[in-house]
């Protein structure tokens, strides 16, 4: 945790830099940049090479681009050299988008081994597991003794060649993945025996490795991390060849990005709005507001059909927003639950009956509960028992439709390969508004008039 008295002071920040985590340094840099961009660059230029890359990767996109433009090729090369292969690839690809020539010079300044690994990782598409893996890992051959492998790990740690090691991956002579053993389990065995002997003496399922293919969708990989509470998973290529590993810190970023994307989409906001200028952001939001305007006009048309009914009972105009608002909120609750369960892969169109039934039951229960409540309130408010009956019946109908369509709409969109988080809110709002107004005013016309 960074002290408040130094978090916006460039000189004091640099004095304490050895005791700070890169995330804390990045947070302080964001505050420094708001006060003075020159101080921001001053701190970056004076950060130790071993943490500079990690700090840059923790900054927002705009500040990262600013840093890439302002820092020298030599400084960036030294920073990239200190990173692990997956982060090296990420930062170089970002620099390419800002200045392709600068990225090439940085790449040329790296060691041959690093360049080979980066070139290998750049082959993968953004959504493939291989794009998120790092090639640095601790592996041992079946015929190697535990003591020999531990000595190799000790040397690698002393030379800062590897970090965040929690297990050893066991491979055969062809580099095919055979097993994975946690270090906390490894230390209890006889160091003189080979890994082949160790595996032979134990249950074969005890050290069964968690692994994913390099071309597997990263979202499916994230689900495995969540399901099995993993900290790391091996990445294999053709014929089970061990080629890398994915760690939990990268998966947390994937999960956070996906959750943020869904939240923005449900609100009708583009997930890049933070990086767009004011006019671009306004245009993107205007599209969704235009769609909402269309649905609002439809709801107003429905109200217009019952203008004489409203004139006869002015109380209807006062109570109408209650019905629509309750339906909209109930529908949003259902929608949020369904979209989240679909994102986790817990339900789809084929096995959705139980989920729909559950949401309908909840909606009916709440519909009846709040129908009684608002019915009594309307009766005492306007001294008309039939008015309480009308709004109570309408409340039940609208909350039922909110639950039913709140569950069905995202499933239908998914069935036709449309992201449920994108269009569900607008469609559901249209349904609950129209059903709410129509049921309330139609019942009023039939019962009160």
DSSP state, residue 128: B
Considering only residues 308 and 418, tell me which one the structure prediction assigns the higher pLDDT: 308
Token pair for 1: 């945790």
Q: In 3-state terms, what secondary structure has residue 207?
A: coil
Is residue 401 pLDDT above 80, yes or no?
yes
Token pair for 418: 């449309």
When computed from its CA atoms, the radius of gyration of the chain, rounded to whole angstroms, is 30
Nearest-angstrom CA–CA distance, 171 and 77 = 33
- Given strand 167-171, what is the order of strands in its sheet? 139-141, 167-171, 177-182
Mean per-residue pLDDT for 128-140? 93
Q: Does a structural domain hold residue 260?
A: no
**pLDDT tens-digit readout, 183-219:** 999 989 999 999 999 999 988 789 999 999 999 999 8
State the CB neighbour count (10 A cutoff) for residue 24: 19
Token pair for 8: 């916006």
Is residue 378 pLDDT above 70, yes or no?
yes
Q: How confident is the model at residue 395 (pLDDT cuts 50, 70, 90)?
A: very high
What's the pLDDT score for residue 29?
Answer: 92
Mention every residue, 6+ apart, whose C-beta is less than 8 A from residue 262. Answer: 339, 340, 343, 421
What's the pLDDT score for residue 226?
Answer: 84
Mean per-residue pLDDT for 379-385? 91
Nearest-angstrom CA–CA distance, 85 and 124 = 14
- With CA atoms as reference, report the closest residue to 181 among 169, 164, 193: 169
Query: Are 53 and 202 members of one domain?
Result: no
Considering only residues 258 and 321, tell me which one the structure prediction assigns the higher pLDDT: 321
Q: Does a structural domain hold residue 320?
A: yes
Nearest-angstrom CA–CA distance, 347 and 362 = 18
Query: Are 148 and 54 members of one domain?
Result: no
Query: Are 118 and 148 members of one domain?
Result: no
Nearest-angstrom CA–CA distance, 135 and 314 = 72
Mean per-residue pLDDT for 141-154? 94
- With CA atoms as reference, report the closest residue to 80 among 46, 58, 103: 103
Query: Are 426 and 398 members of one domain?
Result: yes
Is residue 148 pLDDT above 80, yes or no?
yes
Q: What percent of the chain has pLDDT over 90?
A: 54
Give bridge partners of residue 134 from the DSSP assignment: 245
Q: Is the dihedral of CA 131, 132, 134, 135 positive or negative?
A: negative
Q: Does a structural domain hold residue 259?
A: no
Q: How confident is the model at residue 339 (pLDDT cuts 50, 70, 90)?
A: confident
Is residue 386 pLDDT above 90, yes or no?
yes
Mean per-residue pLDDT for 101-126? 92
Mention every residue, 6+ apart, whose C-beta is less than 8 A from residue 109. Answer: 73, 74, 77
**pLDDT tens-digit readout, 275-322:** 556 777 677 677 767 877 887 888 889 888 898 888 888 889 999 999
Q: Which of 127-131, 260-264, 345-349 has the lowest average pLDDT?
A: 260-264
Q: Are 192 and 148 in contact (CB under 8 A)?
A: no
Query: Are 338 and 441 members of one domain?
Result: yes
Is residue 270 pLDDT above 60, yes or no?
no
What's the pLDDT score for residue 1?
Answer: 53
Nearest-angstrom CA–CA distance, 123 and 116 = 11
Mention every residue, 6+ apart, whose C-beta is less than 8 A from residue 27. Answer: 2, 7, 58
Q: Does a structural domain hold residue 128?
A: no
Does this model's pTM top 0.85? My answer is: no
Query: Are 88 and 233 members of one domain?
Result: no
Give bridge partners of residue 45 from the DSSP assignment: none
Q: Are 84 and 163 in contact (CB under 8 A)?
A: yes
Is residue 159 pLDDT above 60, yes or no?
yes
**CATH number for position 368:** 1.10.357.20
| Class of residue 142 by CB neighbours under 10 A (exposed 0-12, middle 13-18, buried 19+) | middle
Is residue 233 pLDDT above 90, yes or no?
yes
Is residue 396 pLDDT above 60, yes or no?
yes
Total domains in the chain come to: 3
What's the pLDDT score for residue 63?
Answer: 92
Q: How confident is the model at residue 7 (pLDDT cuts 50, 70, 90)?
A: low
Q: Are 414 and 279 in contact (CB under 8 A)?
A: no
User: What average pLDDT does the structure give for the chain?
Assistant: 88
Query: Are 102 and 161 members of one domain?
Result: no
What's the pLDDT score for residue 142?
Answer: 95
Query: Are 237 and 384 members of one domain?
Result: no
User: What is the domain range of residue 436?
Assistant: 273-448
Token pair for 111: 């060691």
Query: Are 119 and 172 members of one domain?
Result: no
- With CA atoms as reference, report the closest residue to 440 among 374, 376, 380, 383: 374
Q: Are 228 and 249 in contact (CB under 8 A)?
A: no
According to DSSP, the β-strands at 177-182 and 211-213 are: unpaired
Query: Are 106 and 19 members of one domain?
Result: yes
Token pair for 306: 């019952």
Q: Are 430 and 437 in contact (CB under 8 A)?
A: no
Query: Are 96 and 152 members of one domain?
Result: no
Token pair for 258: 């996906």
């Amino acid at each position: 945790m960074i002290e408040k008295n130094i978090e916006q002071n460039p000189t004091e920040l640099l004095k304490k830099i050895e005791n700070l985590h890169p995330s804390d340094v990045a947070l302080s840099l964001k505050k420094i940049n708001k006060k003075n961009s020159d101080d921001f660059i001053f701190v970056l230029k004076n950060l130790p090479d071993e943490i500079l890359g990690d700090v840059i990767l923790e900054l927002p996109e705009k500040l990262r681009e600013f840093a890439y433009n302002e820092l020298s090729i030599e400084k960036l090369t030294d920073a990239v050299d200190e990173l692990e292969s997956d982060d090296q690839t990420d930062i170089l690809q970002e620099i390419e988008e800002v200045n392709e020539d600068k990225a090439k010079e940085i790449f040329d300044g790296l060691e041959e081994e690093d360049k080979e690994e980066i070139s290998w990782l750049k082959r993968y598409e953004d959504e493939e597991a291989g794009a998120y893996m790092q090639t640095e890992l601790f592996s041992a051959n079946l015929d190697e003794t535990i003591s020999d492998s531990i000595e190799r790990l000790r040397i690698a740690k002393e030379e800062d060649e590897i970090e965040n090691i929690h297990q050893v991956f066991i491979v055969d002579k062809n580099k095919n993945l055979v097993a994975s053993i946690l270090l906390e389990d490894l230390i209890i065995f006889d160091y003189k025996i080979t890994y082949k002997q160790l595996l032979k003496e134990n249950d074969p399922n005890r050290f069964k490795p968690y692994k994913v293919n390099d071309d597997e969708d990263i979202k499916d990989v994230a689900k495995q991390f969540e399901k099995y509470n993993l900290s790391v998973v091996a990445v294999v290529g053709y014929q089970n060849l061990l080629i890398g590993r994915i760690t939990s810190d990268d998966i947390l970023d994937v999960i956070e990005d996906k959750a943020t994307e869904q939240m923005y989409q449900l609100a009708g906001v583009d997930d890049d709005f933070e990086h767009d200028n004011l006019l671009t952001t306004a245009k993107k939001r205007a599209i969704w507001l235009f769609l909402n305007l269309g649905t609002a006009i439809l709801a107003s048309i429905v109200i217009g059909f019952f203008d004489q009914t409203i004139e006869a009972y002015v109380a209807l105009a006062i109570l109408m927003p209650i019905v629509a608002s309750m339906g909209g909120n109930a529908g949003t609750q259902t929608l949020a639950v369904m979209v989240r369960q679909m994102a986790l892969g817990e339900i789809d169109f084929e096995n959705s009956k139980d989920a729909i039934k559950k949401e309908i039951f909840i909606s009916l229960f709440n519909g009846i509960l709040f129908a009684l409540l608002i019915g009594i309130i309307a009766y005492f408010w306007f001294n008309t028992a039939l008015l309480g009956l009308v709004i109570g019946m309408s409340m039940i109908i609208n909350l039922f439709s909110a639950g039913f369509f709140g569950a069905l709409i995202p499933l239908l969109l998914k069935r036709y390969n449309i992201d449920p988080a994108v269009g569900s809110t607008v469609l559901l709002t249209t349904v609950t508004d129209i059903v709410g107004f129509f049921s309330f005013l139609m019942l009023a016309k039939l019962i009160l008039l």
